[in-house]
Structure 1
């Protein structure tokens, strides 16, 4: 992926981005199978915090901006509509961390690479404490002709935790990432393409762009579809053996890898959702 940061209306993640480095093998005897990168994010920048900044984007991942706007355009009870902005967010820390990781990855890709989200998959959850299945997110680069499409599978981990043994992400989320991509078959791809066409955020695209996207996503789908495996992990969990594993593990899918590194994911996610609830109000 080539970097190409464009100015956006609001930068939720870009001010917190540190150095993005290419991942290297620690063992020269291994055979590298894919490219990988790692970007470290600071959790505060001057008078802004990453948790608060991302919190401002969270409601848009559970309801599309156009549907939120429609409620207000129809002059529904404004206070009730404000409460509804937070009604679909997860209640438990486990799912807050998982959802936050997906949202952080999504905002990062939009701001750092000028990618455009095709639809908000978390808006399709059927209860607060659930995750969506298949791929976690889909993006398009409309600056390329033909358009480039990126499917994202994201994993998160709060390890290491006090009092627990940590042997590496290759025993946890990195192995799960490989297994998820390994099991992603043709029927899964067809399901996702239909879901995108049915839920495309048309307001984010011109009519010509939306028409081209829908045409491209008719099965078998675009030949330019790329798969990106992502992970959000804590700084003190980054070890060479895990990098070796994720760059060399066999997988049926061809994909690239990107890790986002934060200081304390559990605290970051918890504070972000706390900010949402504080500003939008709690459930009745």
Structure 2
């Protein structure tokens, strides 16, 4: 039995931390409790960090195996080295630089990094087709942006993909994974019915739209007229203000010459009629 997670860059073998494990086993047999390990990463199960992950989930996530069917998962096997390198002995938990694919600025070590939960890891893969493993560090600005992106996906209309699913979007499937699920039974028929209904409504409404066109044009003309009047009023007000400024400057110059600068210049004009002030 060979390991499904080996590669030229990551050879299979034994784990030096668990020398008693010497066999390649099915992925479905990986059932160790990882709750305490996740808690050390700050994935405690509260707020946006909430998580309910199994050992199998961690192995699949950190190896970049997204969107697999249950049958495909059941066919996977794992050696001791990859089993622990992708779970409790994963070295990425010691990295403190932001893992966001579009992080702005230099990547420096974060003093108190926030760790990426499962739903954000899935979001990063869907959006950027990049594996950002569960437990990776992320700076606060990038995390806030990622959370907003995830919330927007959740709020999409019916028919959009559900973020809680671990399957990536259609444009994000790598060549080695399965494509998007097939269309549910009955979808084509319901879509055809909806299109026919839309066509009937459009034809029945076309005459009413044509009859209402003169009203719309009249409304536009009245709006255009009111806009022109408003612009004329603004122009008149600006001219009056400019004239007041010129008169005030002339008065200040005359007063300054007569008093030889002993009286401070006027800085504003009285807009209220003198009779009303008295």
TM range (shorter): under 0.3
Structure number, greater radius of gyration: 2
Q: Which has the higher contact order (CA 8 A, sep 6+)?
A: 1
* TM-score, structure 2 as length reference: 0.19
Answer 1 or 2: which has greater strand percent.
1
Answer 1 or 2: which has greater helix percent.
2
